[in-house]
Structure 1
Amino acid sequence: MKLNVGDRIPNLKLRDHNEEEVTLDDFDGKNVLLSFHPLAWTSVCRDQMQALEANYEEFEKNDTVPLGISVDPIPSKRAWAEKMGLENLRLLSDFWPHGIFASKLGIFIEDKGISGRVNILVDDQGEVLWIKEYDIPELPDMDEVLDAVKNNS
């Protein structure tokens, strides 16, 4: 992974599961948690996204917006969000060009065609405040994530 705390991420411009465009400009004055997961419809990824949804209010209290991101296409993300009953969490698609945003961040796993499992906390200008990479089968520790959010709000 190339990113470090203090680095700036490239411009975020992806569509969510409702086909709405999402950029960092949408979150003026807030931090953004970019929660990358390899693929929708897998158990660890489901648990990761459901943990973000379950703690959405805690993120809001700390002026942070969590976003789930994977290389899955928008229709798959929409069906998955409906299946999980997500009401707040937005799921972003890095599908086309395939994995381009994850590639720019240095977290795209070329031979598998997926992003790594990574949480990146950035401010509204794209400066990395906190970053953690996980093994693909590892579920991120939500307490650790929320501590990072609280410490950077």
Structure 2
Amino acid sequence: MNEIKIVDKIQDFTLKDQNQKEVHLYDFAGKKVLLSFHPLAWTSVCSEQMKLLEKNHEMFDRLNTVAFGISVDPAPSKKAWARELGITHIRLLSDFWPHGEVARKYGIFREKEGVSERANIVIDEDQKIIFFEVYPVRELPDMSKIAKVLEQ
């Protein structure tokens, strides 16, 4: 299991979003990126976490930031979930196959449950990690803390 450290360069990945479009992390050089991991779609805290990202999309735009929601759910499930939640600005990425590969790469895969931790990772314009926090699985991440990191 890898361990993420602040100032490390993030490991690259390519995942599909809810519309089956590929997202290549390194294509976002020059922007800050928020990787918001959640265990499973269709659950209450995860739904609130993704709605919080959507609600803050204008702040992300203003702060030159792209936010992604990431879980092990397959892309078709993410598409239906995004429609259900009214997510239109945030891309929901599927870490489905190889199952949890990105979460494993970042050391936040929960082997016993087969899902990722609830975690936020912020990388800067040079793809260096500037923030990393794992939250209790039933706890909604604090968006004001993320906003402070992005404003620095």
Q: Under a length normalisation based on structure 1, what TM-score does the superposition of the two structures give?
A: 0.95
The residue number in structure 1 matching 2:58 is 57
C-alpha displacement of 1:124: 4.2
2:111 alignment counterpart = 110
Ranges in structure 1 where 5+ consecutive residues have no aligned partner: none
Structure 2 unmatched ranges of 5 or more: none
For 2:131, the equivalent position in structure 1 comes to 130
1:5 equivalent in alignment to 2:20: no
**How many Å separate the matches in 1 of 2:24 and 2:121?**
15
Amino acid paired to 2:133: K
Determine the C-alpha separation between the residues in 2 that align with 1:95 and 1:28: 24
Distance across 1 between alignment mates of 2:44 and 2:149: 24
The 8 Å contact of residues 13 and 102 in structure 2, kept in 1 or not, is answered as yes
1:69: Cα distance to partner?
Answer: 0.2
Distance 1:29 1:8 in 2: 14
The superposition leaves residues 91-110 of structure 1 with CA deviations (integer Å, 9 ceiling, x where unpaired) of 00000000001000000000
In structure 2, the residue matched to 1:17 is: 18
CA RMSD after TM alignment: 1.1
Deviates more, 1:90-99 or 1:126-135: 126-135
Query: Deviation above 6 Å: which 4+ runs of structure 1?
Result: none
| Identity score, percent | 50
**2:45 matched residue in structure 1:** 44
Tell me how far apart the structure 2 counterparts of residues 87 and 71 of structure 1 sit (CA, whole Å).
20
